């Protein structure tokens, strides 16, 4: 199995580390800027001191003061292990009294003796410069000279970097430590999810047992519960389908064996009259088999999942039920059954799928004629109930279905014990499925004294309803 890093873990780390690193960079810039200020403060003072020392070697004179600073003395004064220092002294009239004349001359304000510190470039190198006007003597009225001292930036940069490192390094270590801790923390926190994933991916496609929720984190628990619920439902559906396939195969096996036996018998016959008789029997068996297959197909066609294929159209239940009942008159007559219709005057508009509704009525009339006694009476009726529902009722005067069986006869393949008539026990299951697709409700009542059965189907009135609407409104009213 491919081992991929949990995306959640990567996301958490990215969200934590990204902003932290940006903060670290900003902090480093701020720290460097502040450190540079402090380094300048410290070294500017020393530079000021050197400027003062140089001016101590100035003497008053005419026409301008003199600077008595030998080269040897100057180099001792400006000696520094890390930086180069330059100086320049100017008289008030602009004469260069000493030092490096190539040093750019500072333009100091006309008055005042406050020193000026600034960045400058000397001999192609960045330097820190002090420029100040100082008296050559302590005596009052002594002439002023302008002194400038420049120093390269090596010490200052080094100090600023050291100070910045002192601030930023511990922070960097902290971030590294936090990353490691978060990495471990998140990995450990996500371990149950990884286990869950392994448990699901390692199971067989036939295993629909619930996932163990023992150490599933609380946040994921509802999801796992939902998945378990779904698996339980799938399991029930699989069981149901398996049983159905087994039942259907069993139901098909018997008539197919019967057909085979009858064919073998017919093949052994020499008498043409007996062969004819066998063929007639074969025809009846094949007819039964083909009905069973039709019922099975119909059952599959009307499964609850077929909701999309249902074509609801406005339809007058009254006229429709009459039309379907008329088709049954010849068959009823054969069994000497009085098939009647008891409709209402006005149209009874419902939204229905015509083909499916025909199938529903056919199955109910077929049962009524099939299971009531010869010479009996079967009535198809339509009416509007007190609640405004559109009712279709098929009644017979045969023996009542026992109360205990009234629910079970709607199950697939369920037939009453001792039923003599042909049938496979699928008709009412189909009726029930079609009713569900229409959002209709079925009731079964007996007539008085254990005689007769009335199957009623109650539809929502109205022509524009969809199956979902119909089911929804039925759930609200029931």
How is residue 471 written in tokens? 């089911």
Query: CA torsion angle for 465, 470, 473, 474 (degrees, to 10)?
Result: 150
Distance separating alpha carbons of residues 88 and 142, to the nearest angstrom:
20
Distance separating alpha carbons of residues 86 and 261, to the nearest angstrom:
127
* Residue number with CB closer to ligand ATP (396 or 433): 396
Q: How many residues lie near ligand ATP (CB under 6 A)?
A: 20
| CA neighbours closer than 13 Å in the CB half-sphere of residue 40 | 15
Binding mask 274-313 for ligand ATP (x = CB under 6 A): ---------------------x------------------
- 151 lies in the site for ligand ATP, by CB under 6 A: no
Figure out which of the listed residues 174, 333, 416, 463 binds ligand ATP, where binding follows CB under 6 A: 416
**Which string of DSSP letters, residue by residue, matches 371-399?**
HSPTT-EEEEEEEE-TTS-EEEEEEEEEE
Interactions with Mg ion, residue window 362-401 (CB under 5 A) = 367
Nearest distance from C-beta of residue 413 to ligand ATP, angstroms: 8
DSSP secondary structure code for residue 415 in this structure: -
Interactions with ligand ATP, residue window 383-402 (CB under 6 A) = 396, 398, 401
Please state the separation of Cα 92 from the chain's center in Å. Answer: 83
Q: Which does 148 bind (CB under 5 to 8 A by kind): ligand ATP, Mg ion, none?
A: none
Cβ–Cβ contacts within 10 Å for residue 235, how many? 14
8 Å CB contact between 38 and 30: no
Contacts of 19 (CB under 8 A, 6+ apart): none
Please name every residue paired with 88 in a beta bridge, in sequence order, or none if there are none.
Answer: 99, 148
Nearest distance from C-beta of residue 191 to ligand ATP, angstroms: 55
By beta carbon distance, the residue nearest ligand ATP is 427
- 368 lies in the site for ligand ATP, by CB under 6 A: yes
> Which of these segments, 275-283, 389-397, 423-431, 443-451, binds Mg ion (CB under 5 A)?
423-431
8 Å CB contact between 394 and 378: yes
Nearest distance from C-beta of residue 425 to ligand ATP, angstroms: 4
How is residue 33 written in tokens? 């800027």
Figure out which of the listed residues 65, 255, 376, 427 binds Mg ion, where binding follows CB under 5 A: 427
Nearest distance from C-beta of residue 289 to ligand ATP, angstroms: 12
Interactions with ligand ATP, residue window 430-469 (CB under 6 A) = 453
Nearest distance from C-beta of residue 376 to ligand ATP, angstroms: 10
- 127 lies in the site for ligand ATP, by CB under 6 A: no
Q: Which does 397 bind (CB under 5 to 8 A by kind): ligand ATP, Mg ion, none?
A: none
Distance separating alpha carbons of residues 129 and 106, to the nearest angstrom:
9
> Which of these segments, 99-107, 233-241, 338-346, 420-428, binds Mg ion (CB under 5 A)?
420-428
8 Å CB contact between 40 and 156: yes
Three-class SS of residue 230?
helix
- 428 lies in the site for ligand ATP, by CB under 6 A: yes
Q: Which does 425 bind (CB under 5 to 8 A by kind): ligand ATP, Mg ion, none?
A: ligand ATP
8 Å CB contact between 451 and 460: no
* Interface positions with Mg ion (CB under 5 A): 367, 427
* Interface positions with ligand ATP (CB under 6 A): 295, 363, 367-368, 371, 396, 398, 401, 409, 415-416, 419, 423-429, 453
């Amino acid at each position: 199995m491919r081992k991929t890093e949990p995306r959640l873990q990567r996301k958490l780390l990215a969200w934590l580390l990204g902003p932290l690193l940006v903060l670290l960079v900003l902090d480093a810039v701020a720290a460097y800027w502040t450190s540079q200020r402090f380094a300048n403060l410290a070294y500017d003072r020393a530079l000021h001191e050197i400027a003062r020392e140089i001016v101590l070697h100035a003497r008053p004179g005419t026409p301008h003061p003199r600077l008595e600073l030998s080269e040897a003395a100057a180099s001792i004064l400006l000696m520094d292990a890390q930086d180069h220092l330059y100086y320049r002294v100017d008289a008030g009239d602009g004469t260069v009294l000493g030092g490096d004349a190539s040093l750019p001359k500072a333009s100091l304000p006309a008055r005042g003796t406050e020193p000026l510190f600034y960045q400058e470039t000397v001999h192609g190198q960045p330097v820190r410069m002090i420029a100040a006007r100082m008296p050559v003597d302590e005596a009052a009225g002594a002439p002023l000279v302008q002194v400038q001292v420049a120093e390269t930036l090596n010490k200052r940069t080094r100090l600023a970097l050291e100070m910045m490192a002192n601030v930023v390094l511990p922070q960097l270590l902290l971030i590294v430590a936090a990353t490691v801790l978060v990495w471990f923390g998140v990995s450990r926190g996500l371990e149950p999810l990884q286990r869950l994933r392994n448990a699901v991916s390692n199971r067989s496609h036939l295993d629909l047992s619930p996932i163990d929720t023992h150490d599933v984190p609380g946040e994921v628990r509802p999801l796992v519960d939902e998945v378990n619920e779904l698996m339980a439902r799938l399991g029930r559906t699989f069981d149901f389908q398996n049983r159905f396939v087994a039942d259907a195969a069993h139901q098909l096996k018997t008539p197919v064996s019967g057909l085979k036996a009858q064919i073998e018998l017919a093949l052994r016959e020499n008498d043409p009259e007996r062969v004819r008789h066998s063929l007639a029997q074969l025809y009846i068996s094949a007819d039964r088999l083909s009905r069973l297959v039709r019922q099975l197909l119909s059952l599959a066609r009307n499964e609850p999942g077929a909701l999309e294929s249902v074509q609801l159209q406005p339809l007058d239940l009254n006229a429709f039920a009459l039309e379907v009942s008329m088709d049954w008159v010849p068959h009823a007559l054969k069994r000497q059954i009085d098939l009647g219709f008891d409709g209402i005057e006005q149209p009874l508009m419902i939204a229905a799928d015509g083909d499916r509704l025909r199938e529903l009525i056919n199955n109910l009339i077929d049962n009524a004629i099939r299971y009531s006694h010869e010479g009996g009476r079967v009535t198809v009726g339509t009416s509007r109930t007190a609640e405004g529902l559109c009712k279709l009722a098929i009644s017979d005067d045969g023996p009542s279905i026992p109360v205990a069986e009234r629910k079970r006869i709607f199950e697939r393949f369920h037939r009453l014990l001792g039923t003599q008539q042909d049938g496979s026990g699928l008709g009412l299951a189909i009726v029930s499925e079609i009713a569900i697709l229409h959002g209709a409700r079925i009731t079964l009542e007996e007539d008085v004294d254990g005689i007769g059965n009335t199957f009623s189907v109650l539809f929502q009135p109205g022509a524009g309803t969809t199956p979902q609407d119909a089911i929804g409104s039925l759930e609200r009213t029931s």
